[in-house]
Amino acid sequence: MHQFLKRFSPNRFSLLHIGLDAVLLTFSLYLSLWMRLGEGRIDQHLLALNNFVIWLVLIRLGIFLCFGIYQSLWRYISTHDASRLAGAVLFSVPFLYSFVYLMPSLGYLPRSLFFIDAFVSTALLMAARLARRRLFEWQMRPQKGAVTLGKMIIYGAGQNGRLLAQRLLSDPARDRELLGYIDDDPAKRNKQIQTLPVLGHHDELENIIVRSGCTELVVAITSPPSDLMRELVVLGRRLGVRVQRIAHFDASTNVNRNEALYRQVELKDLLNRASADVDLPSLKGLLENKVVLVTGAGGSIGSEVARQIARFSPGKLLLLDHSEFALYEIDRELRPSAQDFSHIHPLMVDIKDQRMLENVFEKYKPEVVFHAAAYKHVHLVEANVAPAVLNNVQGTWNLIQLCERFGCERFVMISTDKAVNPVGAMGATKRVCELLTSLTGKRTGKPYSSVRFGNVLGSSGSLIPLLSKQIQDGGPVTVTHPDMTRYFMLIPEAVSLVLMSATLSEPGDINVLKMGEPIRILDLARSLMALMGKSESEVGIAFTGVRPGEKMFEELYLTGDELTTRHAEILTVPRGDSSSEQFMQGLVAQVERLIALAENDESELLSALRQMANPSGATGSVAAGSAAVGTADNNPPSGSVRIH
């Protein structure tokens, strides 16, 4: 109601516009009458029109106010505004005719007059608005001899590019000279859009930049491919051109600063992926009013899991972490009040401490558990196998046993692509955790599952912060091998898919997130240098060799038997594992032996871990001081589909 009433609030411009429209509507009625009757017969109805004209104009203006016609700025008139104006004119026709019909004492007017008037008045009203817009654009044109700070090319002449050009051309604070567009559509070649020429296509970009003296390139594509963004960033660095991306803006509002229209390219743009679709009703049914436990809640993945879960109004959200500071940060972020412990509960507990974990389950009885706590840094785990086994394997086993004992409805263990044919201790520990989760899920018949994905951007201690610091410090940037590749995903996207996979899982499943195409670390390092305004010659790149526990190419698919699910970005290994029944029956005893070896830091710990992670003698091996070079097929399996 408040928004509707705002349409009737007067201001200087709307009163001026109303007055001008009143004049045009009056003129339209007389012109339409002349068009209908001609000069010889117009006198017969002129007196009647004189009696009606004020009322007819007032009725139409009232309808215009109801339609919000005067909320738009004429200098920014758009097709949406034009269609709304035409709709208001047509909507007013039956009201005008009814008024004349109900007031015969004032005279008679031909019925066809109102239909002719509808077209004439629409044309006159639109002409006035377009004239105002053209005048404004003329006033905003670059003045001869005006000083500009640079020359800009817009990459993409579609809707976004057109809107960006329109806004820039109408911005009084514009200090860039717009040169034109780059677009690959042959139909647009040598054409003009918003008075700007289409200069050429992608393959001609470098020559166009050099020829024109361009200093800024704005990519006006909603979701540009990541390889295109990396190419443009490197090209821009080499030619001294600043590459930017279009920002989200409202085309109907005015701004006075160009920075609101486009923004700097960020690292996530170089790894751009389409946003994952999330089934909100399914997630709401999974989490709303439930007691949800998140382990490792202070970590990069765990904290984002907690954030996204909090949006679905769980009955209680248990944040469990053994790091005091990390737990403090996520608790402070999510808890609405320092004294409100009704929904958010910070729990400073080590998952290796079974007694403390048991107290948590006895007190809160969690119904859904997301297990994100783990030691994950490959080289540190490789040098500290025993602590990693105790934390990753024993901690997971403690948690799974308590989930089974207390009747937890759903358990999700966050795994890694390094668990596929593991060559390092970290991947091997996570593979054992996958096996334990699948075993328990199949034994209990409850949807206990694992979800596997690759590297995420911005996680603590990950590759990107390391490369950024090396570039900032002047280099050299260390890359293990020129051909090493990794999968990358943004943390929010990965977590939304983790939550979605929980709604799809059946007992023992291992879900696999599609990670897109693998990216060469060397290409990523070069793109990051360009983003930070550095060149390879300034910083330098040093190849250090593959470290123990590392693969050249990460793998996501374990057997090739993965099935597609009803979510396009999630695959699944049904019931989790194809290991022999005999091996799975003896898994618990092997895990308990592995934990005992780790507690005593026995020398045979590594061989025992290797045997558990690769029971069938897979080619990858867990061995200290060795690294494997393998191949990975990123094409997900096709054929079978699981219907949930």
Question: What letters, b where the CB count within 10 A reaches 16 and e where it falls short, cover 269-304?
Answer: bbbbbeebeeeeebbeebbeebbbbbbbbbbbbbbb
Residue pLDDT, tens place only, 375-430: 988 888 888 999 999 999 999 999 999 999 999 999 999 998 888 888 889 999 99
Tell whether 273 is covered by a domain. Answer: no
Tell whether 436 is covered by a domain. Answer: yes
**HEC states along 367-385?**
CEEEECCCCCCHHHHHHCH
Q: By 3-state DSSP, what share of the chain in percent is helix, strand and coil, each rounded to 5?
A: 50, 15, 35
Tell whether 618 is covered by a domain. Answer: no
Tell whether 462 is covered by a domain. Answer: yes
Percent pLDDT > 90 in the chain is 28
Whole-angstrom Cα distance, residue 431 to residue 437?
10
pLDDT category of residue 642 using cuts at 50, 70 and 90: very low
Instruction: Give the pLDDT score at 338.
Output: 60
298, 416: one domain: yes
Count of domains observed in the chain: 3
306 contacts 330 by C-beta, under 8 angstroms: yes
Whole-angstrom Cα distance, residue 435 to residue 586?
11
Question: What letters, b where the CB count within 10 A reaches 16 and e where it falls short, cover 331-353?
Answer: beebbeeeeeeeebbbbbbbbbe
181 contacts 198 by C-beta, under 8 angstroms: yes
Residues 6+ apart with CB under 8 A from 213: 151
DSSP 8-state secondary structure symbol assigned to residue 553: B
| Residue 280 pLDDT greater than 50, yes or no | yes
**HEC states along 253-271?**
CCCCCHHHCEEECCHHHHC
Closest CA to 564 of 472, 486, 641: 641
Whole-angstrom Cα distance, residue 346 to residue 331?
6
Closest CA to 417 of 337, 347, 488: 488
Provide the strand spans (E) within 149-260: 150-155, 176-182, 192-193, 196-200, 216-219, 242-246
196 contacts 181 by C-beta, under 8 angstroms: yes
**Of the residues 209, 239, 265, the one at which a domain ends:** 265
**HEC states along 91-143?**
HHHHHHHHHHHHCHHHCCCCCHHHHHHHHHHHHHHHHHHHHHHHHHHHHCCCC
Report the amino acid identity of residue 201. Answer: H
Tell whether 98 is covered by a domain. Answer: yes
348 contacts 327 by C-beta, under 8 angstroms: yes
Closest CA to 429 of 597, 196, 541, 230: 597
Provide the strand spans (E) within 488-601: 488-490, 510-513, 519-520, 541-543, 563-564, 570-573
Residue pLDDT, tens place only, 20-42: 889 999 998 888 888 888 776 77
pLDDT category of residue 622 using cuts at 50, 70 and 90: very low
Question: What letters, b where the CB count within 10 A reaches 16 and e where it falls short, cover 394-410?
Answer: bbbbbbbbbbbeeebeb
237, 315: one domain: no
Mean pLDDT over each residue of the chain, to the nearest integer? 80
Report how far Cα 55 is from the mean position of its chain's Cα atoms: 53
233, 339: one domain: no
**Cross-strand bridge partners of residue 588:** none
pLDDT category of residue 275 using cuts at 50, 70 and 90: low
**Of the residues 87, 108, 139, the one at which a domain ends:** 139
pLDDT category of residue 349 using cuts at 50, 70 and 90: very high
Q: What is the CATH number of the domain that holds 333?
A: 3.40.50.720
Q: Average pLDDT of 84-105?
A: 87
What is the residue range of 157's domain? 150-265
27, 111: one domain: yes
499, 427: one domain: yes
348, 414: one domain: yes
221 contacts 156 by C-beta, under 8 angstroms: yes
Q: Which residue is associated with the tokens 């209990």?
A: 444
Instruction: Give the pLDDT score at 256.
Output: 45
205, 321: one domain: no
- Provide the sign of the torsion angle of the four alpha carbons 540, 545, 550, 553, taken in this order: positive
598 contacts 389 by C-beta, under 8 angstroms: yes
Whole-angstrom Cα distance, residue 48 to residue 53?
9
67, 169: one domain: no
Instruction: Give the pLDDT score at 77.
Output: 76
413, 488: one domain: yes
Question: Which uninterrupted H or E stretch holds 334?
Answer: helix 324-334
Whole-angstrom Cα distance, residue 170 to residue 157?
18
**Of the residues 233, 265, 297, the one at which a domain ends:** 265
Tell whether 643 is covered by a domain. Answer: no
62, 39: one domain: yes
431, 299: one domain: yes
334, 195: one domain: no
Instruction: Give the pLDDT score at 417.
Output: 82
Q: Average pLDDT of 59-75?
A: 83
Instruction: Give the pLDDT score at 246.
Output: 86
Q: How far is CA 301 from CA 65, 118, 373, 448, 453, in A?
A: 51, 61, 9, 19, 12
Q: Average pLDDT of 56-85?
A: 83
- Say how many C-beta atoms besides its own lie within 10 A of residue 611's C-beta: 16
C-alpha triplet 148, 150, 155: angle, nearest 5°: 130
Percent pLDDT > 70 in the chain is 80
Tell whether 609 is covered by a domain. Answer: yes
Tell whether 624 is covered by a domain. Answer: no
Residues 6+ apart with CB under 8 A from 357: 349, 351, 398, 399, 402
